[in-house]
Structure 1
Amino acid sequence: MDLRSGRDLPGLRQVLPERGISGLHFHDLQHEATSRLFEKGFDTMEVSTITGHKTFAQTLYTFESGRFGEKIEVINNT
């Protein structure tokens, strides 16, 4: 099963609208999973292996881009 591409999840596009969910893409789920792995204490090498990222930079970008809004919020509240 190739979860990285989302090709093995053909029902995703059908199930989400049935559940009233719009605007969610497989890639969003990958970002969420990457963030949660880091939050659980996995290191960059482990997360890269699990997510299938070819470089550590990809893994860190995926994690950090998901936290961008949090960082802006911190800046705005200081």
Structure 2
Amino acid sequence: MMIVDLIDEVDFKEKLIALGAPVTQEQNLLEVQTTVLSWLKAYPEQTPFVKDLCMEMQKDTTTVLPEVSSVIAAFA
């Protein structure tokens, strides 16, 4: 049996919330993307933390769902 780390929409939102991003679980991914980009514009000092989170989620040992990957790409 192969065990894979999987990042889905819920995990992604939880990680952003843990960073202090003003997102909720109720938001869809497009809303999350818009909210985080606005937040980063208002608080640019948070950008390195979001980028580090995105890099961590894109490790070779982690599988990121395609819809989450497209939002991560918007933060790059």
TM-score in same-fold range (> 0.5): no
Relative CO higher for 1 or 2, CA cutoff 8 Å, sep ≥ 6? 2
Higher strand share: 2
Instruction: Give the TM-score normalised by structure 1.
Output: 0.32
Instruction: Give the TM-score normalised by structure 2.
Output: 0.33
